[in-house]
Amino acid sequence: MLHLIHDYCIERYFGFFSRRDWFQLLARYLLLGFLFYAPWAYGSTRPALVDILDDGLLIALSLHLIGLIIEQRLPRYPLLPAIGFGFLLFQSLWMCFNARSYHDDTYWEFVPLAQWFPQWPGSWDKAASFIALKNLAAMAGAFFVASDLIADPVWKSRLWRTVGIAGYSIILYGLMLKGLGTDSAISMYHEGNIFFGPYRYHANAGAYLNLIWPVLLGLLVQSWSKRQAYVARAFWSFGLAMGIVACFVNTSKASATIALGMLVMALFGFGSYFRMKLKRMSGISRGLCVVLVIVFLGIVTYGGTTSQIQTRWSDLVNSHDIADAEGRTITSQACLRMLPQAGWLGYGPGTFSTVFPYHTLYLGDKIQGFWRYAHEDYLQTVIEYGFLGATVWSMVFFGGLFLAISRGLKPSSQNGDRIIYRASSLALGSVALHGLVDFPLQVASIQLYVTVFLAYAWSVPRADRGPKEAPGKLISKRIA
C-alpha cells in the first residue's frame, strides 16, 4: 500500500519533470511572464531592467532549443523572417567583431581599435553594438519561441490573452495614477506630468497603448462567439473602453491622433461583427448596453479624466510643440546627411547616440541637448544598420504588416484567425506610424510586443497548411 502511494505521489507531483516537453513549457511560460515584466519595469527603458529582460528571453530561447533536441523535432518558424533575423544577427556580430573603435565617454572621443579586416566595415562603438546585439538576440529568441508556440492552438490563444491581460493591468494602473495626480504619494517617483503608469515618457506609453487596445478589441469580438461568455464580454468591454480613454488621457498628442485614425480603421475591420450581434440582441439587452455606456461616461467624468483631456487638448499646438517639432526637423535633416556615409552596413547597431553629435557641429546652437534617439525610427535604423540591414528590417516588419492585413481580409481563414490578424494589423500599423515621429521601436517593452505581433502575422494558420500535418503535431497535442 505504501509502495502504491509512493508511486502515485512521484507520478502526480514529479511526473512533470519526466515529460519530454517540459523544457518547452518552461520557455513558453517564461515568455508569458516577461510580457508582464517588460511594461511594468518602467517600460524596460532603464539599462539594468532591459538587461534582465534580455537575459530572461535568452534563457527562454535556450530552453526552447534544448526542448527541440529532446523532442527530436524541427522548429516551426516562418522561413523568411527567420532568415532575416539570422542575417541581422550575423551582421551585428560582424560589426562587433570587426569594430573600428569604441567611444570613450569620459573624454568624448573615439578610441581606434585594431581591425581584423580594415577594408571592411565595423562598428564605431564596440561596447554599444554589443549591447544592441544582445537585445537583438533576445528579441529574435522571443520571435522564435512565439512562432513555435503559435503553431499550437491552445498556446496561441493563451499567448493572445496574456498580451491582453498584461496591457489591461497597465491601463488600469495608468488611469489610477492620472486620477490621483502627480502630488499623490504613489506618483512621487514620476517626473512632472508626462508619465503614464510605469512609463516615464508619455510618447512611449502612447505607443504601448496603441498596441494593446486592438488586442482588447479582438478579445471582445472573440467573446461574442460564445453565447454564455457574459463575464468575459463584460471584462473585455470594460478593458477596451478604459484603453481607448487612456489613449486620450495620456499626454501624447501624436499617439492620440494615431489612435483616432486606427479606431476609424477598426470600424471597417470589425464593424460587421458588431452589426450582426446587435441585430440579434433583444430590446432589453440593447437597453442594458446604453445604461452601461452612460454609467461608464459618468465614472470617467467623476474620476477627472475628462479634465485631463481638456487640459491637454486646450491648445492643439502650443509654443513647446512648435519648438519640439523644429528640433526634430533639424535632427531629421542631420540624419539624412549621415545616410551616404552610413553605407550598406551602417555605423553599427546602437551607435546613433555616439556618432550623431559629430555630424551636427555645423549646426552650432540650432540643435541642443543630448539626442539618444533620432525620434524617427526609420532614419535611425538606416544609420545604425545601413541600407542593407534596413532593407532586411523592412522585410521582416512591413512584410508581417502586409501579411496581417491580407490574411485578415482572406475569407477562407478561420474566424478566430481573422480576428487576430486584423487586431495585429491595427497594432503594427499604429507603431509603424508612430515610428515616423518618435522612437517606439527603440523601447525594449514595445520591441517585445511588436515581436509577438510579427510572430502572429508571419505564422500560417493550421487550416491553411493543407492536409499534411505540421511537424511535431503529436508533441503539440500532448502539450495542450
| DSSP category for residue 282 | -
Distance CA 144, CA 89 (A): 13
pLDDT for 62: 97
Q: Pick from 387, 389, 355, 390: which is nearest to 371 by CA?
A: 355
pLDDT for 462: 57
Checking if the pLDDT of 474 tops 60, the result is no
> Which segment of 35-39, 159-163, 309-313, 435-439 scores lowest on mean pLDDT?
309-313
What is the pTM assigned to this prediction?
A: 0.87
The whole-chain average pLDDT of the chain stands at 84
Residues 6+ positions from 335 with CB-CB distance below 8 Å = 356, 374, 376, 379, 380, 383
Residues 3-15 pLDDT 10s: 544 454 544 444 4
Residues 373-412 pLDDT 10s: 999 999 999 999 999 999 999 999 999 999 999 999 887 6
Residues 135-174 pLDDT 10s: 999 999 999 999 999 999 999 999 999 999 999 999 999 9
Q: Pick from 441, 376, 374: which is nearest to 132 by CA?
A: 441
pLDDT for 100: 94
Residues 280-305 pLDDT 10s: 655 665 566 666 666 655 655 554 45
Distance CA 290, CA 280 (A): 16
Instruction: Average the pLDDT over 423-451 and give the result.
Output: 96
Residues 6+ positions from 121 with CB-CB distance below 8 Å = 95, 98, 343, 344, 345, 346, 386
> Which segment of 84-93, 237-246, 424-433 scores lowest on mean pLDDT?
237-246
Check the CA dihedral 467-470-474-477 and report its sign.
Answer: negative
3-state secondary structure 52-100: HHHHHHHHHHHHHHHHHHHHCCCCCCCHHHHHHHHHHHHHHHHHHHCCC
Checking if the pLDDT of 425 tops 50, the result is yes
Q: How many helices (H) and strands (E) does the chain have?
A: 17, 2
Checking if the pLDDT of 41 tops 60, the result is yes
Instruction: Average the pLDDT over 179-205 and give the result.
Output: 70
Q: Where do the H-state alpha helices sit in 118-198?
A: 126-150, 153-180
Instruction: Average the pLDDT over 437-451 and give the result.
Output: 96
